[in-house]
Chains A and B, each alone.
Chain A
Amino acid sequence: GNSVTQMEGPVTLSEEAFLTINCTYTATGYPSLFWYVQYPGEGLQLLLKATKADDKGSNKGFEATYRKETTSFHLEKGSVQVSDSAVYFCALVHRGSTLGRLYFGRGTQLTVWP
C-alpha cells in the first residue's frame, strides 16, 4: 500500500539554524512527492514537489530530493526564520492512480525562536 512516515515533532530551533525534517514513504510503483506547509489557522499550501527519482524540489530556501534508493524525501533549509514556524506535511500521490488521492504523513510542527 501507500503510506508516508514523518519524523515526530515538535521541532524547536533558533533563528538561522539548519533544518531537516525526515520523510520516508512506501508506495507501489513510482509516486510523485510533495511537501505542504500549514500556518496557524490556515489551509495547506504547496511548498515544493518532485515527480521522479533524483528530482530536487525547491522553494523559499527549502529543498527536498526524491531518493528512490532510500524511499525518502527529506525537507531541508539552511537557515530558518521565525516566519517558517508552521506545520509541515509530506505527501505522495501514486502516479498510476486516476483518483489522484494524496497520502499524508502526520505532520511535523516547527517552532523557530528569535
Chain B
Amino acid sequence: DGGITQSPKYLFRKEGQNVTLSCEQNLNHDAMYWYRQDPGQGLRLIYYSQIVNDFQKGDIAEGYSVSREKKESFPLTVTSAQKNPTAFYLCASRSNTQGSNNQPQHFGDGTRLSIL
C-alpha cells in the first residue's frame, strides 16, 4: 500500500543537539511538506518542496533545515538554534499534476519530539 512513513515515532533531543526526522513516501508525489503542531495552535508550515533539489521556507522555518535529494524523501533537521522544539511534527505529500489543487495532502503519522 502507498503511503507516508515518518520515523521515529518518538524522539528526544538534548540541549545543543541537532536531530533529524525522517519522511519517506511511495506515492510518487512531487510536493512534500513539513508542519509543526502545538496544542491549540493547529498546524504551522515549516518548509515545503515542489520538486527534487528545490524547497522553500514556510511560516516558521527558523531553527529548521531540510533537503530534497530524492523524490521519495524529505528529511527535517531540528537544529540547536530552535529554542522550543517540543512539538508534534507532521510530514505530508501531494501530487502536482494538472488540476492537483483539488487533491488533498496525504499525511504521515507524525513524530513527537521532546527535550531531555
Contacts and interface: CB of A to CB of B under 8 A. Distances in A.
B31 interface: yes
Interface string A73-97: 0000000000000000100011111
B107 A45 contact: yes
Given A32-B101, A94-B101, A100-B100, A42 B42 contact: no
B90 A44 contact: yes
Contacts of A51: 102
Nearest to A94: B101
B40 interface: yes
A106 B43 CA distance: 7
Contacts of B105: 100, 102
Contact of A43 (B96, B101, B109): B109
Residue among A51, A93, A101, A106 facing the most chain B CB atoms (10 A cut-off): A101
Contacts of A99: 31, 48, 50, 56
A104 B96 contact: no
Interface residues of B, number: 27
Contacts, number: 61
B16 interface: no
B40 A32 contact: no
A36 B107 CA distance: 10
A17 interface: no
A100 B42 contact: no
A93 B40 contact: no
A101 B43 CA distance: 12
A106 B109 contact: no
Given A43-B109, A44-B90, A104 B43 contact: yes
